[in-house]
Every structure is written in C-alpha cells, then in structure tokens.
C-alpha cells in the first residue's frame, strides 16, 4: 500500500487541530448553568410518569495537572466542581477531572462529563453530557464571553422526591459569571 495514502489522514487531522498556543485557558472561570432534565419517574410499582427537574448549578474550572495529551484529547485538562443549592445551603455537589477537545474556532468541548447534582428534598440527578463552551475573545485574545450548551445529555439515575427513580433527557445551558456574582462564597 502506498505510504502517502496512509499518512494523508494524519496530516489532515494535524492541520485541523489547533496548537496549544491557540487554546484560551478557562482556568479559574465560573459558569452559571440552567439544568433541565425531562425524565420518566418510575415508582415502586414500576409505573412511569413524565416529570421534570430544573435547577441552577455553578461550574468551576481549574487548570488540571496533566497535559491534554495524557488523556488522549487535543486540549487542556480541567479539574472541575459543580455547586448546587442543597438542604443545608450551597455546597459542592460533585468534582472531577476531564480533558477537553479544543476546536479550531476556539471552542472547548467536554466529550463525556459524568456528574451528580444533589438538590433540596432528596432530589438528585446523575447525568452524562457532552458540553460545548463557546469562547469569544477580543483583538487582544482576552475572553469577553463564554456560552455553555449541551450537545447531548442524559439523566442516567436520579429522583424527584428521594423515593422514585428517574431516567431521561438532560440539557444544560449557561454563561460565564464573575466569582463576585455567585450566590455563595467559595472557601478556596
């Protein structure tokens, strides 16, 4: 087989991926997320009924320790935490470390973010989502706006009341917010 035929796809892929210098860091950024889960609530008799869970959550990103290449993704790695309002007030609901795919237009995509949201009254959502962070910068390459949206998501477990079991669709959308605008104080 002709070696140039085998190398052509690799060359196209290398040109399509941005170099690390083009990726805008979202280190120490906060995002306000509107979370909506349209689910089927299944009771103890295995009867399903449509239900919906809506909440506001806050996502915080910190630059991770590993370079993106170590997780197999062409982009930075972020340590993240999600805050939700729970019975005792605002608290960390889940944490993790994930790599992102940095696109040529500056967006950053979390391809498979697994998270749990603990809410008031025993309500919780365990979800998986592919999140796109659309980053807008000015001429000096400073971030002016970041919008978050779900490319695909699902609620894989949860409850609307602490008793039933829910599964279904999940969507998150949001935007970058300043730490001073958070409804809580981050102890870090």
* Residue 163 per-residue DSSP state: S
Give the residue from 65, 56, 98 showing the smallest Cα distance to 183.
56
Q: Which residues of 88-115 are buried (b: 16+ CB within 10 A; e: fewer)?
A: eebeebbeeebbbbbbeebbbbbeebeb
Tokens of 138: 């000015």
Q: What is the pLDDT along the chain (188 residues), one digit of tens a residue?
A: 444 443 333 333 344 444 444 678 899 999 999 999 999 999 888 889 999 999 999 999 999 876 444 556 678 889 999 999 999 999 999 999 998 998 888 899 999 999 999 999 999 999 999 999 999 989 988 899 999 999 999 999 999 988 899 999 999 999 999 999 999 997 77
Alpha helices for 3-98 (secondary structure H): 3-16
Q: Residue ranges per domain, the chain?
A: 3-181
What pTM, to 2 d.p., does this model score? 0.84
* DSSP-derived pairing of the beta strands 143-159 and 165-177: antiparallel
């Amino acid at each position: 087989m002709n070696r140039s035929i085998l190398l052509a796809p690799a060359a196209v892929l290398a040109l399509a991926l941005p170099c690390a210098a083009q990726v805008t860091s979202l280190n120490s950024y906060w995002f306000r997320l509107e979370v909506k889960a349209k689910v089927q609530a299944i009771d103890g008799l295995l009867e399903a009924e449509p239900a919906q869970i809506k909440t506001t959550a806050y996502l915080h990103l910190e630059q991770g320790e590993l370079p993106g290449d170590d997780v197999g993704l062409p982009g930075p790695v972020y340590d993240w935490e999600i805050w939700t309002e729970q019975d005792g007030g605002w608290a960390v609901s889940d944490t993790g470390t994930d790599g992102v795919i940095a696109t040529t237009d500056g967006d950053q995509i979390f391809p498979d973010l697994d998270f749990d949201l603990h809410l008031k009254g025993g309500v919780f959502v365990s979800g998986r989502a592919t999140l796109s962070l659309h980053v807008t910068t000015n001429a000096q390459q400073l971030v002016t706006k970041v919008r978050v949206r779900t490319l695909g998501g699902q609620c894989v477990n949860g409850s609307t009341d602490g008793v039933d079991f829910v599964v279904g669709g999940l969507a998150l959308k949001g935007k970058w917010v300043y730490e001073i605008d958070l409804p809580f104080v981050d102890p870090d």
